[in-house]
Structure 1
Amino acid sequence: MVVIRLSRGGAKARPFYNIVVADKRVRRDGRFIERLGFFNPLAKDGEEKLRVAQDRLTYWRGVGAQASPTVERLLKQGTLPATAAAAAA
């Protein structure tokens, strides 16, 4: 099965995660099919915290890839501020 999940990078105590499409049987930080974006949990105010290529995400979900629970949560959190900003404009 193909999953959309986080792959950890960064230094000790400074995590940085890539959002990747990978085979479920491959280890967390191992080989992946495609990189869709990133998540930086320690981003400061001026830095980007989450970036995802929405077109590629839609494609992979369309062909049956399932997102991990953490990625699902991040995507929901990432779209809420954008939706609120669009509604306020």
Structure 2
Amino acid sequence: MVTIRLARGGSKKRPFYHINVADSRRSRDGRFIERLGFFNPIARGAEEGVRLDLERLDYWVRQGAQVSDRVAKIAKDYHKATAAAASEAAA
């Protein structure tokens, strides 16, 4: 089964996660099919906390990929933020 999940990077006490599409039998940080974005839980100030390719995420979900709980929440929040920014820019 294909899953969309977080792969940990960064260093000790400074986590950084890549949002990857991977086979569920592979290890957490192992080989992946496609990288969709990243999540930085300790981003401060002007640092970008999340970047996610929502079109590719939707594509993989349509293909039957399972989304982890954490990635689903990140995607939902990111979608809200981009929609709010787009409506703010249009106004």
TM-score, structure 2 normalization: 0.89
1:83 is displaced (CA, Å) by: 2.3
Distance of 2:23 and 2:79 partners within structure 1: 26
**Which residue does the alignment assign to 1:79?**
79
Instruction: Between 19-28 and 50-59, report the one with greater CA deviation.
Output: 50-59
Distance of 1:26 and 1:13 partners within structure 2: 25
Q: CA RMSD in A?
A: 1.2
The 3-state SS of whatever aligns with 1:85 is helix
* Identity within the alignment, %: 56
1:78 is displaced (CA, Å) by: 1.2
Instruction: Between 24-33 and 6-15, report the one with greater CA deviation.
Output: 24-33
**Which residue does the alignment assign to 1:40?**
40
**Which residue does the alignment assign to 1:20?**
20
Residue ranges of structure 2 left out of the alignment (5+ in a row)? none
Distance of 2:28 and 2:53 partners within structure 1: 20
Distance of 1:80 and 1:70 partners within structure 2: 16
1:61 is displaced (CA, Å) by: 1.1
The 3-state SS of whatever aligns with 2:18 is strand
Residue ranges of structure 1 left out of the alignment (5+ in a row)? none
Q: Which amino acid aligns with 2:21?
A: V
**Which residue does the alignment assign to 1:52?**
52
**Is this contact kept in 1: 2:52–2:78, CA < 8 A?**
no
